[in-house]
Amino acid sequence: MALDTATIIRRLAAAPSQQKDNEAQNIINGASTGDLAGVDAEGVLRLYEALAMGNFSYYSSRDQAAVKRLRDYTQFQPVTNTPDYGVGLVTAARKTINSSLIKSAMVTNIYAAEYKRLSMLEWVGFDGATIGRGQLGQPAYADVQKKFKAELEACVTRVFVSELLAAPVPAPPIILFKFDFGKYSVKIPTQYAGVYTYPAIEDFVVAAYLAIRIEAATKAGRTTQDTAKFAVAVYHGMFAMVSAAQTATGDTVNWSPVEANLKSGGHTDEVDYVNEVVK
Q: What is the pLDDT of residues 11-28, one digit of tens each?
A: 999 999 889 999 999 999
How far apart, in whole angstroms, are the C-alpha atoms of residue 219 and residue 252?
9
Taking a C-beta distance cutoff of 8 angstroms, is the pair 82, 151 a contact? Answer: no
Identify the H or E element spanning 179: strand 179-180
Q: Measure the CA–CA gap between 252 and 230, rounded to whole angstroms.
A: 10
Mean pLDDT taken over the chain: 94
Comparison of pLDDT for 112 and 122, the residue scoring more:
112
Q: How many CB atoms lie within 10 A of CB 96?
A: 22
pTM of the model: 0.94
**Does 60 score more than 90 pLDDT?**
no
pLDDT exceeds 60 at position 50: yes
* Interatomic CA distance for residues 82 and 104, integer angstroms: 8
pLDDT band for position 68 (cuts 50, 70, 90): very high
Question: What per-residue confidence (pLDDT) applies to 177?
Answer: 96
pLDDT of res. 57: 54
What is the tens place of the pLDDT at every residue in 151-192? Answer: 999 999 999 999 999 999 888 999 999 999 999 999 999 999
For 125-139, 156-170, 248-262, which range has the lowest pLDDT when averaged over its residues? 125-139
Q: Distance (Å, rounded) from C-alpha 161 to C-alpha 153? A: 12
pLDDT of residue 263: 98
Assign 135 to helix, strand or coil. coil
- Spatial separation of the C-alpha atoms in residues 151 and 38, rounded to whole Å: 18
pLDDT at 59: 79
- Residue 6's pLDDT band, with cuts at 50, 70 and 90, is very high
Going by pLDDT thresholds of 50, 70 and 90, the confidence category of residue 91 is: very high
| CA separation for the pair 174, 49 (Å, rounded) | 16
